[in-house]
Amino acid sequence: MALRRVTVFGGSGFLGRYVVERLADRDLTVQVAVRDPEAAKHLRTLGQVSQVTPFACDVTDAAAVARAVEGTDGVINLVGILAERGRQTFKSVHVDAPAAVAIAAASAGVESLVHVSAIGAADNALSEYSRSKAAGEAAVRGAFPDAVIMRPSVIFGPEDGFFNLFAGLARMSPLLPLFGGGHTRFQPVYVADVADAVVAGLTDPAARGKTYELGGPRVASFAELMALMLAEIRRKRLLVPVPFFVGDIQATLAGILPKPPVTRDQMKSLRADNVVSADAATLDDLGIFATAMESILPTYLHRYRRGGRLGRTPIAD
């Protein structure tokens, strides 16, 4: 059965806009379930008139989720948070919400379900974030066994919260901290590649019931990623190794802020590498060639150079 209508939960986020655009390019009707439809109006321009429709839906409300999947052929869940805030807890967003989506999708006879999790999801993980991701995967599998689960590493791209965050800090601060000495390894993956993987998982029957770990072609330590970023924005900054226990203290103090730059739970996540497992199904298995960071970072990090994109200074202070 060919997909005609797809419901995307969390489609207004960083990854969501790329997924929605690719679905629209396939001439699918796309319903985007979001908290704030007004803030998601830009998604309408990714398709033809009335092809992409944002609508209000509280993903923690099982009844609202059930209504959102009525009459749809495919469902994608992109909802996730990096830090807890108010009613948005790891349990409510990463466990209860995916369970509600999977149960509703199964009850509605949805053909295909893709759930986006994260590399490092495990019941015995150090961070609550990663443990909640594992619990969410289990809940999805329990209700919808043929669901496709995607576990990306750090996602990079023009609107990312990783390279943009640290490039912004480098523009203001003479030093950058390397928690744990900066030895934690990552495998950053391009947002467009992740979006392609999500759509492939939704449309390829051979992907049903499988879990994919998505990483780019290069594994690099946090220190190496910071050096790469600094070279791209042409700024010299002191990279200062900071023991994890010091980072824990800083994160505790930062916790009093409305939007802390780092949390205690994120410090726990940094203690474990974030790379694709040796025996995992990957982008290659979906027929997707991973894009190198070096080919994409120059397209958006130039804004952090002194003088911006047209800055001529090779290395700035």
Structure tokens of 88? 């948005």
Q: What pLDDT, in 10s, does the model give residues 241-275? A: 999 999 999 899 887 777 788 899 999 999 999 99
The pTM of the full predicted model, rounded to 2 decimals, is 0.94
Q: Are 217 and 292 in contact (CB under 8 A)?
A: yes
Closest CA to 222 of 194, 247, 250: 247
- Where residue 312 falls among pLDDT bands split at 50, 70, 90? low
Return d(Cα 222, Cα 186) in angstroms, integer.
7
The pLDDT of residue 1 is: 54
Return d(Cα 3, Cα 295) in angstroms, integer.
33
Q: What is the mean pLDDT of the chain?
A: 93
Higher local confidence (pLDDT), 193 or 254: 193
Which residues does residue 75 pair with via DSSP β-bridges, in sequence order? 7, 113
Full set of structural domains in the chain with CATH: 5-155+188-214 (3.40.50.720)
313 pLDDT exceeds 60?
no
Q: What pLDDT, in 10s, does the model give residues 131-140? A: 999 999 999 9
The pLDDT of residue 3 is: 81
Higher local confidence (pLDDT), 259 or 70: 70
Scanning 92-190, the segments in alpha helix (DSSP H) are 97-107, 128-143, 163-172
Q: Which residues of 220-259 are buried (b: 16+ CB within 10 A; e: fewer)?
A: bbbbebbbbbbebbbbebeeeebebeebeebbeeeeeeee
Place of tokens 């989720």: 65
232 pLDDT exceeds 70?
yes
Which residues does residue 239 pair with via DSSP β-bridges, in sequence order? 176
Q: DSSP letter string over 174-241?
A: SEEEEEGGG--EE--EEHHHHHHHHHHHHH-GGGTT-EEEE--S--EEHHHHHHHHHHHHTB--EEEE
Q: Are 9 and 57 in contact (CB under 8 A)?
A: yes
317 pLDDT exceeds 90?
no
Q: Are 148 and 202 in contact (CB under 8 A)?
A: yes
Q: What pLDDT, in 10s, does the model give residues 79-120? A: 999 988 888 899 999 999 999 999 999 999 999 999 999 999
The pLDDT of residue 13 is: 92
